[in-house]
Amino acid sequence: MTAGLFGKGPRSGAAAHLLRWATAAAWLAAAPALAQQQPGGSNASAGIYRLPYADGTTVKIFDDFVSHRPVGRIDFYAVEGEAPYRVVAAAAGRIMAIQDGHSEQQSGRAASECRNNYVWIAHPNGEWTTYSHLAHGSVTGRAGRKVGDLVEAGAYLGDEGAVGCAMLDHVHFEVAVPDPSSPIDAGGFLNDNRDGRRERNPRFCSVEGEHVEKDQVYRAGPC
């Protein structure tokens, strides 16, 4: 299923299209000002987020904001907890796009050829978060989520998976300030994001120093 700023969501036709874009515009209104407020060109997120796994889940960092290729993203994978590992919202916000209709793992293909599952959430501070490679059907099915839902920090979004460009079960996580006029494309990727210009290095409330590091282990919990 694909829904959100493109394709069909909970409504169809011109009215639904206008509603989705009106919602996006409202939630993105703060983004340009927020981006300009980054001190000294800092790429740290304005918001402070929880780790995007259910409370008590131990996670390890496969790649951090610097080591990930392309840079500006983070890959988490669960190493301890109750499987299937539950992915949760990193902060309160509104679900803007969902894709959980794919089921194929496509490791080794070019990103443009992969079909990832994902959720995008817009937050009141103008930043968006994304959660990618989620298990087939887990967002709209197990979690019962739909585009337009308001969610709290820690709300269940779906299950960790390896759908799309993935070598192993994990969650690809990003914090970004999207282009207000065209946030993401039909594949769920940020538009106007050359060299990761729209990415922000997430600040996490339960992490010493706020930023996660490659190969380190952390325990998910509320802020």
Structurally, how many domains does the chain consist of? 1
What pLDDT sits at residue 122? 98
What pLDDT sits at residue 5? 61
What pLDDT sits at residue 6? 46
Domain with 138 in it: what CATH number? 2.70.70.10
Ranking 36-40, 61-65, 189-193 by mean pLDDT, the lowest is 36-40
Provide φ and ψ at 142, rounded to 5°.
-60, -40
What pLDDT sits at residue 110? 72
What pLDDT sits at residue 26? 54
Q: pLDDT per residue over 68-92, tens digit each? A: 888 788 999 999 988 999 999 999 9
Within 13 Å of residue 222, how many CA atoms lie on the same side as its CB? 6
Give the domain extent around 123.
2-219
Q: Which pTM was predicted?
A: 0.84
Residue with tokens 């793992």: 105
Across the range 117-138, mean pLDDT stands at 97
**Residue 136 in this model has a pLDDT that exceeds 80:** yes
**Residue 168 in this model has a pLDDT that exceeds 70:** yes
SS3 196: helix
**Residue 4 in this model has a pLDDT that exceeds 70:** no
Where does 13-138 show beta strands of DSSP type E? 44-49, 58-63, 74-80, 86-88, 93-99, 118-122, 128-132
**Residue 3 in this model has a pLDDT that exceeds 80:** no
